[in-house]
Chains A and B, each alone.
Chain A
Amino acid sequence: MQSIRSLSIGLLLSLLATGSSLYAQEMIDEDFLDALSENAKEVWTETDQDFTVSKSPAKWMDESAVAVAYKKHILFDKKRSGLLGGKEKLVLVERKHMKVILQDRQAVNDFSELYFRYSSKMDGFGAVVYKTDGTKKEIPLTRAVSIEDNDNVPEFFKSFFDQNVSNRNEYYKVPVADLLPGDQLEFVSVTSSTLDVKKTPYYTFDPQYELCQKVMPLMVHKIVIETDNNSFITARSINGAPDFQQSMNGDFTVYTWTDKDRDRLKDANFVNEYLVLPMVKFQIIYTDGRDIKSLFAGSKGQMKSSFDSKEIGEKAFANYIATGRTYVYGASATVDMIAGGLWNKMKNNGAKDVTEEDLIKMAYYYIRHTQVFNNYYYSDQQFVYLMAKLLGERKITSEVVVTTPNNITVPANLLFESELAWCLRIKGKFVFKATEHSNLYDVDERMTGNEAYVLGGTIKALPEKIVIPDSKADDNKGLFQCQVTLDTSKKWVNVVRTSAYTGIQKERNSGYAMRFTPYMFTDSRTYFGPDDMEGVPQKYADQFYQQKKALTDEFKERKPDYMKQQLEREFDGPVTYQNFDMVAEGRSFKKPEMMFRETFQVGGLIRKAGKKLLVNLSGLMGGQLHINEDDRLREFDADLRYPRKLRWQINFTIPAGYTVDGLKELTNNIDTEAGSFISSATVKDNVLTLDIQKIYKTSQVKRENWGQMLAFVDAADAFTNRLILLKPAQ
Chain B
Amino acid sequence: MRSFAFALIMALTLAPALTLCGQSAVSPDDLTESLRLRKKFKDEAYVALRITEKYTFEKGVNEFKQPVVTVKETGEAEFIGLKDIAIFQYYKFHNRFVKLKSFTRYDKYQNKYILTGKRGFDQSVTDENTFFDDSRVQVYSFRFLEKGKVAKMNWVSEYTDGKYLTRNFFHEPFPVVEKVLEYEVPEWLDIQFVEKNFQGYKVEKTRRPSGKATIYSFKVKEYPALKNEANDLGIAYTHPHILTQIKSFTNGAEKINVFQNTADLYKWYSQLYKMAGNDVSPLKTQVNQITANKKTDEEKIKAIYYWVQDNIRYIAYEDGYAGYIPASTQEVFSVKYGDCKGMANLLTEMLKIAGYDARFTWIGTRHLPYDHSIPVMCVDNHAITALYFKNKVWFLDGTEKYNPLGEDAYRIQGKSALIEKGEAFEEVKVPLSKATDHVIRTVATLQLEDNSLKGHVKFTLTGNERKDFHQHYQEMPQYAQQDYLKEILEFGNTNLKASQIKSSDLTNREIPVVIEGDIDLTNNINHIGNDQYVHIDFFPKNLSRYMPDEKRQKGFDFESVFAFEDELELVLPAGKKCIDLPEKLTIDRPGYSFVGSYETTGNKVRLKKTLTIKESVIPADQLADWKVFLESIREFNSYLLTITKS
Interface, chain A (partner B; CB < 8 A):
1-17, 22-25, 27, 62-64, 103-109, 112-113, 143, 145, 148, 173, 175, 177-180, 372-375, 436, 491, 511, 514-516, 520, 539-540, 543-544, 546-551, 553-555, 557, 573-574, 603-604, 606-612, 614, 626, 629-630, 661-662, 665, 717-718, 721-725
Q: Name B239's closest neighbour in chain A (CB-CB).
A: A9
Partner of B313, one of A22, A112, A557: A112
Please, which residues of chain A bring their CB within 8 A of the CB of B524? 721
Q: Which residues of A contact B383 (CB under 8 A)?
A: 1
Q: Does A516 lie within 8 Å of B124, measured CB to CB?
A: no
Question: Is B580 touching A629 in the complex (CB atoms < 8 A)?
Answer: no
Query: Which one, B3-11, B176-184, B589-597, is touching chain A?
Result: B3-11
B243 to chain A, nearest CB (A): 11
Chain A residues near B127 (CB-CB < 8 A): 3-4, 7, 11
11 contacts between A and B (CB under 8 A): A3-B127, A16-B139, A143-B317, A175-B131, A175-B337, A179-B313, A436-B2, A520-B5, A544-B12, A551-B7, A551-B8
Specify the main secondary structure of chain B where it touches its partner.
Answer: mixed
Which chain B residues numbered 11 to 38 have a C-beta less than 8 Å away from chain A? 11-12, 15, 18-19, 22
The residues of B that contact A107 with a CB separation of less than 8 Å are: 477
Specify which of A14, A549, A723 is in contact with B84 (CB 8 Å cutoff): A549
**Chain B positions within 8 Å of A113 at CB level:** 131
B228 within 8 Å of A (CB atoms): yes
B429 within 8 A of A: no
**B381 x A3 contact (CB < 8 A):** yes
Known contacts: A143-B317, A614-B526, A723-B526. The answer to whether A375 contacts B9 by CB under 8 A is yes
In the complex where A16-B139, A17-B173, A25-B132 touch, is A723 in contact with B497 (Cβ < 8 A)? no
Q: Residue-by-residue, is B323-344 near A (CB-CB < 8 Å gives 1, otherwise 0)?
A: 1100000000011110111000
Q: How far is the CA of A374 from the CA of B137 in the complex (A)?
A: 34
Which one, A177, A609, A721, contacts B335 given CB within 8 A?
A177
Which of A27, A603, A608, A665 lies in contact with B582, CB distance below 8 A? Answer: A608
A4-B318, A550-B84 in contact; A607/B640 too (CB < 8 A)? yes
Query: Which residues of chain B are near A17, meaning CB under 8 Å?
Result: 173, 228
Among B382, B477, B631: residue with most chain A CB under 10 A? B477
How many Å from the CB of A458 to the closest CB on chain B?
A: 39
Could you tell me if A610 and B580 are in contact, using CB atoms closer than 8 angstroms? yes
> Is the CB–CB distance between B126 and A609 below 8 Å?
no
Q: Which of B162-170, B213-221, B452-460 contacts A (4 or more CB under 8 A)?
A: B162-170
Residues 626-643 of B, flagged 1 when their CB comes within 8 A of A and 0 if not, give: 000001001100111110
Q: Which of B360-386 contact A (CB under 8 A)?
A: 362, 365, 377-378, 380-383
Question: Are A25 and B640 neighbours in the complex by a CB distance under 8 Å?
Answer: no
A609 contacts which chain B residues (CB < 8 A)?
Answer: 533, 580, 639-642
Tell me the chain B residues, 151-165 only, with Cβ under 8 Å from chain A.
Answer: 164
Task: Say if the beta carbon of B451 comes within 8 Å of chain A.
Answer: no
Interface residues as binary, B523-536 with A (CB distance below 8 Å gives 1, 0 otherwise): 11011110001010
For the complex, give the distance between the alpha carbons of A4 and B367 in Å.
12
CB nearest to B45 among chain A residues:
A554
Note all chain B residues with C-beta closer than 8 A to A103.
478
- Contact across chains for B639 and A607 when beta carbons are under 8 A apart: yes
The residues of B with any CB-CB pair to A shorter than 8 Å are 1-2, 4-9, 11-12, 15, 18-19, 22, 43, 83-85, 89, 91, 93, 95, 97, 123-127, 130-135, 137, 139, 145-146, 164, 166-167, 169, 173, 226, 228, 234-235, 311, 313, 315, 317-319, 323-324, 334-337, 339-341, 362, 365, 377-378, 380-383, 474-479, 483, 494-495, 497, 523-524, 526-529, 533, 535, 544, 547, 579-580, 582, 631, 634-635, 638-642
User: Are B5 and A373 within 8 A (Cβ)?
Assistant: yes
Cβ–Cβ < 8 Å partners of B135 in chain A:
4-5, 7
Give the CA-CA distance A372 to B9 in the complex, in Å: 11
With the chains together, A13 CA to B234 CA distance in Å?
A: 13
Given A1-B381, A175-B335, check contact A106 B126 (CB 8 Å).
Answer: no
- Nearest chain A residue, comparing its CB with the CB of B526: A723
A375 in contact with B85 given A1-B382, A6-B167, A145-B132 (CB within 8 Å): no
Residues in B neighbouring A573, C-beta threshold 8 A: 544
- Contact B4–A661 (Cβ < 8 Å): no
Check if B164 sits within 8 Å of A64, measured CB to CB.
no
Chain B residues contacting A722 (CB-CB under 8 Å) are 526
Chain A binding site: helix, strand, loop or mixed by DSSP? Answer: mixed
Q: How many angstroms between the C-alpha atoms of A107 and B479 in the bound complex?
A: 12
The verdict on A551 contacting B85 (CB below 8 Å), with A1-B324, A543-B18, A662-B528 known, is: yes
> Is B528's CB under 8 angstroms from A179's CB?
no
Chain B residue with Cβ nearest A110? B477
Residues of chain B within 8 A (CB-CB) of A25 are 124, 126, 132-134
Closest to A181 in B: B478
Knowing A551-B8, A629-B497 are in contact, say whether A1-B341 is a contact too (CB < 8 A). yes
Chain B residue with Cβ nearest A436: B2
Q: In the bound complex, how far is the Cα of B533 from the Cα of A173, in angstroms?
A: 58
Q: Are B528 and A725 in contact (CB under 8 A)?
A: yes
Candidates A22, A143, A540, A607; contact of B638 at CB < 8 Å: A607
CB distance from A342 to the nearest CB of B (A): 18
The answer to whether B318 and A5 touch across the interface, beta carbons within 8 angstroms, is: yes
- Please pick, from B123, B381, B529, B533, the residue contacting A22 in the complex, using a CB distance under 8 A: B123
List 17 extra interface pairs beyond A5-B97, A13-B228, A64-B477, CB under 8 A.
Answer: A2-B381, A10-B234, A24-B123, A24-B124, A27-B319, A62-B478, A107-B477, A113-B131, A514-B1, A516-B1, A543-B12, A611-B580, A661-B528, A662-B528, A662-B529, A665-B526, A717-B494
B138–chain A nearest beta-carbon distance, Å: 11
Do A22 and B125 have beta carbons less than 8 Å apart? yes
**Which of B132, B337, B365, B378 is within 8 Å of A27, CB to CB?**
B132
Asked, given contacts A15-B125, A175-B335, A718-B523, whether A9 binds B15 with beta carbons under 8 Å apart, the answer is: no
Given contacts A180-B311, A543-B18, A610-B642, contact A5 B323 (CB under 8 A): yes
Q: A112-B315, A514-B1 are in contact. Are A554 and B477 (CB under 8 A)?
A: no
Please tell me if the beta carbons of B83 and A554 are within 8 angstroms of each other in the complex: yes
Whether A540 touches B15, Cβ cut-off 8 Å, given contacts A2-B323, A143-B317, A604-B634, is yes
Q: Is the CB of A372 within 8 A of B5?
A: yes
Contact, CB under 8 Å: A16 / B638: no
Whether A1 lies near B479 (C-beta < 8 A) is no
B583 → chain A, closest Cβ, in Å? Answer: 11
Set of chain A residues within 8 Å of B7, measured between Cβ atoms: 551
Contact status B84-A375, CB under 8 Å = no
Bound CA span A602–B291, Å: 60
Q: With A and B bound together, what is the CA distance between A27 and B96 in angstroms?
A: 14
- A718 CB contacts on chain B under 8 angstroms: 523
Chain A residues within 8 Å of B483, by CB: 630
Shortest CB distance A402–B (Å)? 28
B8 touches A63 (CB 8 A): no
A375 touches B477 (CB 8 A): no
Partner of B124, one of A13, A23, A104: A23
Q: Which 4 A-B pairs have the closest CB atoms?
A: A610-B580, A550-B84, A3-B381, A177-B335
Known: A104-B477, A721-B495. A614 touches B131 (CB 8 A): no
CB-defined contacts of B582 to chain A, threshold 8 Å: 608
Whether A2 and B318, one on each chain, are in contact in the complex, defined by CB atoms closer than 8 angstroms, is yes
Closest residue of chain A to B479 (Cβ to Cβ) is A62
Contact B315 A6 (CB under 8 A): no
- Asked if A179 and B336 sit within 8 Å, CB to CB, the answer is yes
In the complex, what residue of chain A is closest to B499 when comparing beta carbons? A629
- Please give the distance in Å from B159's CB to the nearest CB on chain A: 12
Interchain CA distance A612-B315 in the complex, whole Å: 58
Minimum CB–CB distance from B22 to chain A (whole Å) comes to 6
A173 to B324, CA, bound (A): 23
Known: A4-B133, A544-B12, A606-B638. A9 touches B580 (CB 8 A): no
Are B324 and A12 in contact, with the CB atoms below 8 A? no
A2 near B334 with CB under 8 A, answer no
Docked complex Cα distance between A64 and B89 (Å): 43
Nearest chain B CB to A246 CB, angstrom units:
38
**Which of A10, A22, A547, A661 touches B8 (beta carbons < 8 Å)?**
A547
